[in-house]
């Protein structure tokens, strides 16, 4: 069985060490053709004997992965040598290739040629690794041809001329990607091809050197970068482009411990958002220079759209340079380093969503047109593409991938990947939102659906007789949710006990009873991480039968639940807490409005209403106590759409109203989460999943303090308690003032994050916003995967189930937590983007005049916040293009903008009347414009 | 990191349940009473046994059974970087103890009272699983020295990476930080004489991993038995029988 041959391999790991590893060659690696007589056909992918089987080389995979993903390409052998090379060069492409290979609908087969006794090649003396790998590919192709016989054609795809020549010499048929795709006869596929920059092309361009101007400086070679970093000249970090100003980027550098600002595309030197770059810090006197330069050239293209009011510091525009906004103030030296990208260590190129810049149809040129692609996400530059179907694409949303960016071209060049749909169409735009936020909206696969219990499902007698499950059907349990909520994951009950205390229970849908660890259903949910709520649709984390029926704690049906039950005194002190799996039968599914109405209606004295009132009483005490501890009442400008059920068009839009009933339910959910957090951490100190909210730093609260100071408000931010108190004191003449300050405060804070308790020390577990030392998510397992994990932990801590093995693996748990944070954030971004989209649709037919608040002063106007619609956008005092807005003067200290003759002035937080209207400066690109009345 | 590819191959081309290639040679040190070289892949260990002989330090003499002593060392050239390893560091002391206890459990010490048996093992080349290789080498050397034993002791390790139980970890897999279960058994008597693990594993997984390691031990035992029979045949031939 063991066909072994050990060999010597040499690698470099900083210093040169000789690494000796065994390398076993085998005779049980199969060819993957189901018609093969010799090989084991288990897991075979190639089914038709007469077809052409492709063997691709590494560069084809690296460059043409979009083409490979197209279903027109099939029957591909992926050699392990290719996989290894791809993995080393580009992990993103590797993952995509792996996904292709594991997709049972595609016929991609991994052939471990490196471990096959006949296809293993030993490097010859003087042969470079690349040459050896090319030879390995040729040997494998040859083996396939001999193995499968002449009935099947083996075609090696390579763009390497030398490799192709050698292949032909050795009698292997080979073709370049271009000629192969052409031979398929599908012209649309040609757009997917990455255009190779052939040498002839260069020569043509060299003929007219005057035309070619070097725009960007050449990237430094890697060796120079590494030495530079060792000497401290250069700094490594991830480039993040300002979402609101694509000409400004930040590189967080560990070697400096601070962020380096990079102004302008030229200094960014062809780096994309997310790239790992090497940065050179400019000298201090250059900082200002760069800054003013950037202001000068930014005016052409900077475009601040109207967008949804940000809800936390993570999605708020960066305000790094606002303090130095007035560059006349020469002695006000910028406090932050600015820099210049000298090299790119790792690219983060992927596919981008957007549309083509409008252009006239060119005549002739064999139907190939050059077009500029504009990404929807403004952080990315325009991308040049070649297309043969320009007419089709002009008014479409398309996906484009980037291939190269040389220093002579202003924009990177890329290629077309696929079309999503018409611009402006709601479904297309929604899909763009989903793609941009990496949300999987595909229907669940049959494997996932196979994990569901058979329908119609009802509580079985085994469930009832199960000793771990307590029968709570006799309790008066009800749920309170937003109107129209179908995925009800929490229900409550509250009974008075004879001793004057209350028994309060929070019952959460028992999702883990149906989602078992390691099943396809569980893996899918882990990947999705959370449900996403868009204005007109919901993208579920779990399949619909579970979400809306089996798990949903609907009224008048028996459901399985996981319950937290407290005994509380009448002043809301918890005497005892217990946790149990249960069977419940909810007696009413109320909406917040209904619950509120019942509590307010003093004539009603039915049991449910009494329970509601008792709970409300307890919740108020708990809330007061929580605020006493320093919890901050945050505010966000949430809006709610009324959507037409037929057309899905928004009918009305308004602030989301928060009632006492909402706060009551929230209070008990918080209490349940805290109790559960304590319980799981006690049992599993190393592998609990908790949620923390880091305290905001001084710098993060800076904009809030500046705004507050300008209106004569003094906020104490030394602790969450102090901040909460001073927020309470901040009451102006008008009723909305306090809310506005709270909204601004919320915006300065980062979001809470999930983490694995073994990764941090207990003081870091703190949740700043809730002023709780421990917090987790337990109460919404239908729509959040974190809660599913917490349910498993809680069940294990009660000894109901064993802890799944995944919890033993801390790195894996951490990676799950990171994924949850990522998905959670993306889901939020997507729902915001969806609201923005619908806001535009809503105002398209309804130009409106409304009241707005100034939240930030800028050089040429100010940013206003429209409370009624929860949106934020710029109002320009000087028109764009109109140079020298000398009429207006900005007063930084006071946060005021004044007309030079002093006749009009606007200050921050002031109320203004504005007009809102959707305009289309370019066809098919509607945007919301705000103008002062 | 990916230790088992989706194709089911490990980094060196083995499948999860496969061992590295075994090789053994008996009688490599002619001065010793018994000696052997044992290889598991690139791990290479030499063992030499002296005794039973007179006890060196009278105070250590035991009147009812033989004294077993064991010394484990790693050659300076055994790993890639030629570091001078201090003799008697914690790790080698521990492994010496482990080997001594494992061997003591199978040597019929009561047959040789007031005597001493010395087992020296040295790692010539280390590539993971040195502990197991040392025990296997020591067994062969003891057999070569003709010391009465209850059974052969054989050892093998198994780990758990990428949610897969892996047999006979090599250095790369060993240093991945996962659990490493070393098992030593008396294959004929079906008894465990050594069981070590320095990580946490859920019980059911641990049982699988240990089962796998035990299978490995049995495979080693078969091989060792073959080698011994081969060796005995050769000895017979030399005597002209």
Name the minimum distance, in Å, from the CA of A142 to any CA of chain B.
Answer: 22
pLDDT in tens, A137-152: 999 999 988 888 888 8
Given a cut of 50, whether residue A330 has pLDDT beyond it is no
Half-sphere exposure of A229 (CA within 13 A, CB side): 20
Instruction: Retrieve residue A585's tokens.
Output: 């039968």
Q: Rounded to whole angstroms, how far apart are CA atoms A612 and A661?
A: 9
pLDDT in tens, B31-45: 999 999 999 988 999
Residue A329 pLDDT level (bands cut at 50, 70, 90)? very low
Give CA angle at B80 (B76, B81), nearest 5°: 70
Q: Which residues of A touch B6 (CB under 8 A)?
A: 98, 101-102, 110
Q: State whether CATH 2.40.50.700 applies to domain A349-423.
A: yes
Q: Rounded to whole angstroms, how far apart are CA atoms A172 and A165?
A: 10
Distances (CA, A) of A686 to A691, A757, A760, B161: 14, 6, 9, 20
Q: Which residues of B touch A22 (CB under 8 A)?
A: 12-13, 20-21, 41-42, 127, 170
Name the minimum distance, in Å, from the CA of A527 to any CA of chain B.
Answer: 18
- The residues spanned by each domain of chain B are 22-238
For chains A and B, what is the number of CB pairs under 8 angstroms? 62
For range A494-521, the mean pLDDT: 89
Q: Which residues of B touch A14 (CB under 8 A)?
A: none
Q: Rounded to whole angstroms, how far apart are CA atoms A606 and A478?
A: 13
Which range is least confidently modeled, A471-485, A718-732, A832-846?
A: A718-732
Query: Collapsing DSSP states into helix, strand and coil, what is residue A354?
Result: strand
Instruction: Retrieve residue B228's tokens.
Output: 């011994």
Instruction: Retrieve residue A22's tokens.
Output: 């065994």
Q: Does B18 touch chain A (CB under 8 A)?
A: yes
More confident residue, A851 or A200: A851
Q: Which residues of B touch A102 (CB under 8 A)?
A: 6
State percent of chain A over pLDDT 70: 85
For range A604-611, the mean pLDDT: 85
The residue in chain A having the minimum alpha-carbon distance to the alpha carbon of residue B78 is A20
Given a cut of 90, whether residue A840 has pLDDT beyond it is no
Name the minimum distance, in Å, from the CA of A119 to any CA of chain B.
Answer: 13
* Residues 6+ positions from A619 with CB-CB distance below 8 Å: A663, A664, A667, A668
Q: Is A1 in Cβ contact with B42 (below 8 Å)?
A: no
Q: Which CATH architecture has domain B22-238?
A: 2-Layer Sandwich (3.30)
Q: Return the axis-axis angle of helices A660-683 and A592-600, rounded to nearest 10°.
A: 110
Query: Collapsing DSSP states into helix, strand and coil, what is residue B179?
Result: coil
Q: Which residues of B touch A99 (CB under 8 A)?
A: none
Q: Is B14 in Cβ contact with A24 (below 8 Å)?
A: yes
Environment class of A202 (CB within 10 Å of its CB; exposed 0-12, middle 13-18, buried 19+): exposed
The pLDDT value recorded for residue A785 is: 92
Task: Write out the residue limits of the CATH 2.40.50.690 domain(s) in chain A.
Answer: 222-346
More confident residue, A762 or A734: A762
Q: Is B7 in Cβ contact with A110 (below 8 Å)?
A: yes
Instruction: Retrieve residue A747's tokens.
Output: 């915006």
Q: Does B172 touch chain A (CB under 8 A)?
A: yes
ipTM associated with this complex: 0.90
Instruction: Retrieve residue B112's tokens.
Output: 């040789």
Q: Is B18 in Cβ contact with A2 (below 8 Å)?
A: yes
Given a cut of 50, whether residue A497 has pLDDT beyond it is yes
Task: Write out the residue limits of the CATH 2.40.50.140 domain(s) in chain A.
Answer: 847-932
**Nearest CB to A18; choose among B80, B201, B204:** B80
Q: Rounded to whole angstroms, how far apart are CA atoms A672 and A580?
A: 13
Given a cut of 50, whether residue A332 has pLDDT beyond it is no
Residue B24 pLDDT level (bands cut at 50, 70, 90)? very high
Q: Where are the beta strands (DSSP E) in A271-381?
A: 276-281, 307-308, 339-346, 351-356, 369-375
Name the minimum distance, in Å, from the CA of A174 to any CA of chain B.
Answer: 27
Q: Report the residue of B3, B5, B7, B13 to disrupt the A interface, i.e. the one with the largest count of A CBs within 10 Å.
A: B13
Asked if B71 contacts B116 with a C-beta cutoff of 8 angstroms, the reply is no
Q: Rounded to whole angstroms, how far apart are CA atoms A95 and A98?
A: 5
Given a cut of 80, whether residue A716 has pLDDT beyond it is no
More confident residue, B15 or A91: B15
The pLDDT value recorded for residue A564 is: 92
Q: How many residues does chain B have?
A: 241
Q: Which residues of B touch A115 (CB under 8 A)?
A: 9, 13
* CATH (residue range A25-190): 3.40.50.1010
Instruction: Retrieve residue B226's tokens.
Output: 């073959």
Quick one: DSSP state of residue A647? T
Given a cut of 70, whether residue B149 has pLDDT beyond it is yes
Instruction: Retrieve residue A352's tokens.
Output: 């981008």
Which range is least confidently modeled, A260-264, A294-298, A671-675, A693-697?
A: A294-298
For range A522-547, the mean pLDDT: 87
* Residues 6+ positions from B147 with CB-CB distance below 8 Å: B34, B49, B51, B52, B107, B112, B117
- Give kind and range of the element (H or E) at residue A640: strand A639-643
Name the minimum distance, in Å, from the CA of B138 to any CA of chain A.
Answer: 24
Q: Which residues of A touch B18 (CB under 8 A)?
A: 1-2
Q: Is B21 in Cβ contact with A4 (below 8 Å)?
A: yes
The pLDDT value recorded for residue A403 is: 81
Relative to beta strand A689-692, strand A639-643 is unpaired
Q: Is A805 in Cβ contact with B163 (below 8 Å)?
A: yes
Helices (H), A306-346: none
Asked if A503 contacts A477 with a C-beta cutoff of 8 angstroms, the reply is no
Q: Rounded to whole angstroms, how far apart are CA atoms A434 and A537?
A: 12
The residue in chain A having the minimum alpha-carbon distance to the alpha carbon of residue B20 is A2
Q: Which residues of B touch A803 (CB under 8 A)?
A: 202
Given a cut of 50, whether residue A317 has pLDDT beyond it is no
Give backbone dihedrals phi and psi of A798, rounded to 5 degrees, phi first.
-90, 0
Q: Is A22 in Cβ contact with B170 (below 8 Å)?
A: yes
Q: Rounded to whole angstroms, how far apart are CA atoms A535 and A652?
A: 12
Q: Which of A829, A803, A909, A911 is nearest to A312 (CA)?
A: A829
Residue A288 pLDDT level (bands cut at 50, 70, 90)? low
Distances (CA, A) of A207 to A203, A210, A609: 6, 9, 86
- Give the fold, CATH level 3, of A847-932: OB fold (Dihydrolipoamide Acetyltransferase, E2P) (2.40.50)
Q: Is B14 in Cβ contact with A112 (below 8 Å)?
A: no
Other CB atoms within a 10 A radius of the CB of residue A606 amount to 9
The pLDDT value recorded for residue B110 is: 94
Name the minimum distance, in Å, from the CA of B127 to any CA of chain A.
Answer: 8
* CATH (residue range A222-346): 2.40.50.690
Quick one: DSSP state of residue B59? G
The pLDDT value recorded for residue A270 is: 84
User: What is the layout of strands, in order, in the sheet containing A871-876?
Assistant: A307-308, A871-876, A861-866, A848-858, A911-919, A927-932
Given a cut of 50, whether residue A318 has pLDDT beyond it is no
Q: Which residue has the tokens 């205390």?
A: A501
């Amino acid at each position: 069985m063991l066909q072994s041959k050990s060999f010597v391999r040499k690698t470099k790991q900083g210093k040169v060490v000789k690494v000796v590893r065994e390398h076993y060659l085998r005779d049980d690696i199969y060819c993957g053709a189901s018609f093969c007589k010799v090989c084991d056909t288990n897991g075979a992918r190639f089914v038709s004997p007469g077809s052409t089987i492709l063997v691709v080389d590494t560069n084809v995979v690296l460059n043409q992965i979009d083409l490979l993903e197209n279903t027109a390409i099939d029957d591909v052998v992926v050699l392990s040598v290719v996989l290894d090379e791809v993995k080393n060069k580009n992990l993103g492409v590797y993952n995509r290739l792996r996904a292709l290979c594991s997709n049972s609908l595609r016929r991609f087969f991994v052939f471990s040629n490196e471990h096959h006794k006949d296809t293993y090649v030993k490097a010859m003396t003087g042969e470079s690794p690349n040459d050896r790998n090319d030879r390995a590919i040729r040997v494998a192709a040859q083996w396939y041809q001999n193995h499968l016989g002449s009935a099947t054609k083996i075609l090696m795809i390579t763009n390497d001329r030398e490799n192709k020549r050698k292949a032909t010499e050795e009698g292997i048929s080979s073709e370049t990607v271009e000629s192969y795709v052409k031979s398929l006869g599908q012209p649309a596929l040609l757009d997917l091809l990455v255009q190779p920059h052939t040498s002839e092309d260069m020569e043509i361009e060299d003929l007219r050197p005057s035309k070619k101007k070097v725009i960007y400086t050449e990237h430094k070679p890697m060796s120079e970068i590494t030495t530079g970093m060792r000497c401290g000249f250069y700094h490594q970090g991830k480039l993040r482009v300002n979402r609101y100003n694509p000409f400004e980027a930040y590189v967080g550098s560990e070697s400096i411990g601070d962020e380096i600002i990079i102004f302008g595309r030229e200094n960014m030197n062809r780096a994309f958002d997310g790239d790992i770059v090497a940065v050179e810090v400019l000298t201090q006197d250059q900082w200002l220079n760069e800054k003013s330069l950037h202001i000068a050239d930014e005016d052409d293209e900077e475009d601040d759209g109207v967008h949804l009011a940000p809800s936390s510091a993570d999605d708020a525009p960066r305000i790094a340079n606002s303090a130095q906004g007035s560059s006349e103030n020469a002695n006000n030296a910028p406090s932050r380093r600015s820099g210049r990208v000298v090299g790119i260590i790792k690219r983060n190129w992927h596919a981008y969503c957007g549309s083509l810049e409008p252009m006239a149809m060119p005549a002739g040129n064999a139907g190939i047109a050059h077009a500029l692609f504009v990404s929807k996400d403004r952080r990315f530059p325009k991308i040049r593409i070649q297309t043969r179907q320009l007419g089709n694409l002009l008014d479409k949303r398309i996906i484009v991938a980037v291939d190269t960016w040389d220093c002579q071209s202003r924009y990177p060049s890329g290629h077309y990947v696929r079309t999503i749909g018409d611009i402006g169409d709601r479904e297309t735009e929604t899909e763009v939102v989903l793609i941009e936020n990496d949300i999987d909206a595909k229907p669940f696969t049959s494997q996932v659906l196979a994990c569901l219990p058979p329908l119609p499902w009802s509580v079985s007698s085994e469930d009832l007789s199960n000793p771990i499950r307590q029968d709570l059907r006799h309790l008066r349990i009800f749920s309170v949710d937003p109107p129209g909520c179908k995925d009800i994951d929490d229900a409550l009950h509250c009974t008075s006990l004879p001793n004057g205390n209350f028994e309060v229970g929070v019952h959460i849908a028992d999702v883990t009873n149906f989602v078992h660890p390691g099943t396809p259903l569980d893996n899918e949910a882990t990947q999705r991480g959370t449900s996403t709520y868009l204005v007109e649709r919901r993208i579920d984390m779990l399949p619909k039968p579970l979400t809306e029926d089996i798990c949903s704690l609907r009224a008048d049906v028996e459901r399985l639940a996981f319950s937290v039950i407290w005994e509380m005194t009448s002043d809301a002190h918890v005497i005892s807490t217990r946790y149990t799996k249960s069977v419940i039968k909810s007696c009413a599914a109320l909406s917040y409005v209904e619950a509120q109405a019942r509590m307010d209606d003093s004539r009603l004295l039915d049991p449910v209403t009494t329970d509601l009132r008792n709970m409300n009483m307890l919740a108020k005490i708990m809330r007061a106590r929580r605020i006493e501890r320093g919890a901050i009442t945050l505010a966000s400008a949430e809006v709610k759409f009324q959507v037409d059920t037929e057309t899905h068009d928004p009918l009305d839009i308004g602030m989301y109203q928060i009632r006492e009933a909402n706060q009551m339910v929230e209070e008990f959910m918080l209490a349940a989460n805290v109790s559960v957090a304590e319980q799981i951490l006690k049992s599993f100190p190393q592998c609990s999943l908790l949620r923390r909210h880091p305290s905001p730093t001084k710098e993060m609260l800076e904009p809030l303090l500046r705004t507050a100071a300008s209106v004569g408000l003094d906020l104490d931010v030394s602790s969450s308690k102090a901040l909460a108190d001073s927020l309470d004191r901040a009451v102006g003449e008008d009723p909305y003032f306090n809310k506005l300050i709270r909204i601004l405060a919320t915006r300065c804070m980062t979001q809470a994050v999930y983490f694995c308790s073994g990764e941090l020390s207990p003081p870091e577990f703190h949740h700043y916003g809730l002023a709780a030392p421990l917090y987790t998510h337990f109460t919404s397992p239908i729509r959040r995967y974190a809660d599913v994990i917490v349910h498993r932990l809680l069940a294990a801590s009660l000894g109901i189930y064993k802890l799944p093995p995944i919890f033993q693996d801390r790195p894996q748990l951490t990676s799950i937590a990171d994924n949850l944070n990522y998905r959670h954030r993306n889901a939020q971004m997507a729902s915001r983007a969806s609201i923005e989209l619908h806001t535009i649709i809503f105002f398209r037919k309804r130009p409106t005049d409304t009241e707005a608040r100034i939240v930030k002063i800028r050089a040429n106007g100010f940013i206003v916040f429209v409370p009624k619609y929860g949106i934020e956008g710029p109002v320009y005092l000087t028109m764009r293009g109109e140079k020298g807005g000398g009429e207006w003067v900005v007063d930084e200290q006071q946060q005021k903008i004044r007309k030079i003759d002093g006749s009009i002035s606007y200050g921050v937080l002031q109320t203004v009347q504005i007009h809102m209207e959707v305009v289309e400066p370019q066809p098919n690109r509607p945007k919301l414009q705000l103008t002062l009345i | 990191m990916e230790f088992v590819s989706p194709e089911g191959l490990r980094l060196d081309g083995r499948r999860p349940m496969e061992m590295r290639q075994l090789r053994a040679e008996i009688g490599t040190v002619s001065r010793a009473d018994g000696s052997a070289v044992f290889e598991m892949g690139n791990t290479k260990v030499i063992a030499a046994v002296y005794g039973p002989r007179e006890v060196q330090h009278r105070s250590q003499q035991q009147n009812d059974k033989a004294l077993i002593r064991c010394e484990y060392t790693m050659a300076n050239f055994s790993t890639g970087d030629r570091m001078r390893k201090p003799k008697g560091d914690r790790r080698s002391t521990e492994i010496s103890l482990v080997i001594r206890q494992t061997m003591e459990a199978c040597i019929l010490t009561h047959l040789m009272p007031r005597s001493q048996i010395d087992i020296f093992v040295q790692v010539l080349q280390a590539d993971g699983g040195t502990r197991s290789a040392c025990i296997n080498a020591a067994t062969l050397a003891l057999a070569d020295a003709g010391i009465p034993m209850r059974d052969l002791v054989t050892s093998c390790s198994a780990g758990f990476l990428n949610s897969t139980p892996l047999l006979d970890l090599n250095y790369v897999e060993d240093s991945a930080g996962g659990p490493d279960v070393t098992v030593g058994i008396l294959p004929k008597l079906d008894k465990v004489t050594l069981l070590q693990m320095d990580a946490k594993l859920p019980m059911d997984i641990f049982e699988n991993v240990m089962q796998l390691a035990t299978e490995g031990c049995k495979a080693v035992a078969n091989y060792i038995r073959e080698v011994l029979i081969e060796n005995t045949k050769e000895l017979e031939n030399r005597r002209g029988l």
